[in-house]
Amino acid sequence: MSRTRFTSVALGILCGPILCCWIAIASCCCPGQLQRHGESEDRKRFERRQIMAPRPLPVRPPERALTIPVPVPSTEHKKDARKTLHQSGSRLLSLPLELREMIWRKAVGDNTFHIVLKKNKLGHLRCKAPRTIDCPLGFNGRTLSRACCWGMVDSANIWQPKAGSSSKHSDGDILPLLQSCRQIYSEAIQYLYTTNCFSFYDLDCLRYFSCTTLPSRFSLIRTIDISWCLTWPIYDPVAQSFLLTSPALYPPHDEASWEETWRVIASMQNLNFIRVSLLYFDGFRDRRCERKMLAPLRHVTRPRRFEVHVSWLGDDAAAEGAPFTLIRPTAPEGESD
Ligand SMILES: [Zn+2]
């Protein structure tokens, strides 16, 4: 017997019982974890999300700018020249600018918009709660959702309208006003991005939002709210090596998607407030794994207020020197960690 083969057999004999014990314990104590790693289910979900992904914003020629003043088209785009008609007959546009801006802000601002995944596009649903924090967050057995606010998502996290609801009411009712007139669009668009809270329940929603929105608009955003269910065993290489699946975690549940999301957030120039709610059923048994998970958040230094609410107990030192406040649930009496 060759030396390599002898080593493989010896490893098999040594590791076999450990692996059997692990599977037995995991299937008794955490059956959901083993079941979740039916690779074909994860793969199917991932592939469906890839098919349904929105396309990134194409690079638009300056002649297609929506805001006024409308740029003069170049000679080869002369036929695409857009007309801007004078609105002197409009009673609404005859109001002083200060009053008009108050109206635009009331119509499109000071609200929370849940950004949801739809087929090949994103949707924006106006929150029914007075504040984002009042919008109840639930777990539907697979992922986080706000069922009583905007309905359900399917197994791939794609939004499903409530039975009987009209799809025309599903997009915040802000587009008709913005599309009605170039002057209104130009005056109102800033309030959409600067005064609303954008709420995300899926990491892909935020990443798609960043590449389907004009960079100059995306950078105006000041408030975001993120709810995310972390998938076991993120940042736990030992547990991942026992899963025998490749990859151990499919995007957006993997470490790369998590880190990319925080790179996008760190690049947002005008962020003032971030609220993050993280759910992880087992919590982090290894403090080093939790620290690795929190490390990308340390690069987000611009917001004046940055709250990270987690569903598990742990060590307060995990947020030492961090730009965010780590808020853990209150431990039951007599339980320290
Ligand atoms: Zn809501």
DSSP string, 181-227: -HHHHHHHHHHHHHSPEEEESSHHHHHHHHHHS-HHHHTT--EEEEE
Using the mean position of ligand 1's atoms as its centre, give its distance from the Cα of residue 80 in Å. Answer: 40
Residue type, 292: K
Using the mean position of ligand 1's atoms as its centre, give its distance from the Cα of residue 198 in Å. Answer: 10
Q: Are 147 and 242 members of one domain?
A: no
pLDDT digits 0-9 by tens, 56-99: 877 665 555 667 666 666 666 555 566 777 777 889 999 999 99
Using the mean position of ligand 1's atoms as its centre, give its distance from the Cα of residue 127 in Å. Answer: 4
Q: Are 212 and 307 members of one domain?
A: no
255 assigned to some structural domain:
yes
Using the mean position of ligand 1's atoms as its centre, give its distance from the Cα of residue 159 in Å. Answer: 14
What stretches in the chain show pLDDT beneath 50?
1-9, 11-12, 23, 27-29, 31-32, 34-35, 37, 337
Question: What's the total number of domains in the chain?
Answer: 2
60 assigned to some structural domain:
no
317 assigned to some structural domain:
yes
Q: Are 244 and 296 members of one domain?
A: yes
The Cβ of residue 240 has, within 10 Å, a number of other Cβ atoms equal to 19
Q: Are 164 and 187 members of one domain?
A: yes
Q: Are 106 and 205 members of one domain?
A: yes
Q: Are 108 and 204 members of one domain?
A: yes
Q: Are 213 and 316 members of one domain?
A: no
The set of residues, in sequence order, having a beta carbon less than 8 Å from that of 307 and lying 6+ positions away, is: 274, 275, 276, 324, 325, 327
Pairing type for strands 152-153 and 138-139 reads unpaired
Q: Are 222 and 110 members of one domain?
A: yes
Using the mean position of ligand 1's atoms as its centre, give its distance from the Cα of residue 274 in Å. Answer: 16
Residue that finishes a domain, picked among 166, 200, 229:
229
Residue that finishes a domain, picked among 229, 262, 290:
229
152 assigned to some structural domain:
yes
Among 218, 49, 46, 192, which residue's Cα sits nearest to residue 117?
49
**Residue 234 in tokens:** 């993120």
Using the mean position of ligand 1's atoms as its centre, give its distance from the Cα of residue 269 in Å. Answer: 25
Say what the pLDDT of residue 28 is.
47
Using the mean position of ligand 1's atoms as its centre, give its distance from the Cα of residue 226 in Å. Answer: 12
pLDDT digits 0-9 by tens, 118-155: 988 999 999 988 888 888 887 777 777 777 787 788 88
320 assigned to some structural domain:
yes
Using the mean position of ligand 1's atoms as its centre, give its distance from the Cα of residue 171 in Å. Answer: 13
Q: Are 327 and 245 members of one domain?
A: yes
Q: How many CA atoms lie within 13 A of 336 on its CB side?
A: 0
The CA distance from 96 to 32, in Å, is: 61
CA distances from 49 to 96, 117, 136, 159, 204 (A): 47, 9, 25, 12, 9
Using the mean position of ligand 1's atoms as its centre, give its distance from the Cα of residue 125 in Å. Answer: 8
Q: Are 115 and 217 members of one domain?
A: yes
Using the mean position of ligand 1's atoms as its centre, give its distance from the Cα of residue 130 in Å. Answer: 9
Say what the pLDDT of residue 8 is.
46
5 assigned to some structural domain:
no
Using the mean position of ligand 1's atoms as its centre, give its distance from the Cα of residue 200 in Å. Answer: 11
Using the mean position of ligand 1's atoms as its centre, give its distance from the Cα of residue 156 in Å. Answer: 20
Say what the pLDDT of residue 86 is.
79
Q: Are 258 and 326 members of one domain?
A: yes
Q: In which domain, by residue range, is 190 found?
A: 93-229
Q: Are 219 and 290 members of one domain?
A: no
